[in-house]
Amino acid sequence: MAQPTPFTEQNIAEEASFVTFVAKLQKAKTRKDKDYFALRATIPKAIAEKLDVKAGDYLLFRTKKAQWYHLLEWDKMANTWSMMPDEHKTQVTFFG
């Protein structure tokens, strides 16, 4: 039996079924007054269509804390992009 291909940054970035977006954690409390965090993700219609998902489907999340440079629309900021450190450009390019 063939071994499955391990996920690397290269083949994850090339995988068309992965979409990157940012979701905000919310602090909540249980009925017993214990703190926890809830992730409520609102999926834009265009992304849902790209992923071919509908209500009741499950999504797989791979999480990383977003930095300020993950939250910007870089395609509208060419001048600023050219001044960014290479490390930040690599992360933005990899995560979308």
pLDDT at 6: 46
Our CA angle for 66, 70, 74, nearest 5°, is 175
pLDDT at 59: 84
Rg (CA), the chain: 17
3-class DSSP assignment, residue 28: strand
Task: Report which secondary-structure segment, H or E, holds 26.
Answer: strand 25-29
Taking every pair of Cα atoms in the chain, the longest distance, rounded to a whole number of angstroms, is 51
Instruction: Supply the pTM of this predicted model.
Output: 0.47
Collect all residues with Cβ–Cβ distance below 8 Å to 91 and sequence separation of at least 6: 67, 69, 70
pLDDT at 7: 45
pLDDT at 74: 76
Averaged pLDDT in 10-residue chunks for the chain of 96 residues: 48 59 82 87 84 87 74 77 81 70
pLDDT at 1: 47
pLDDT at 5: 47
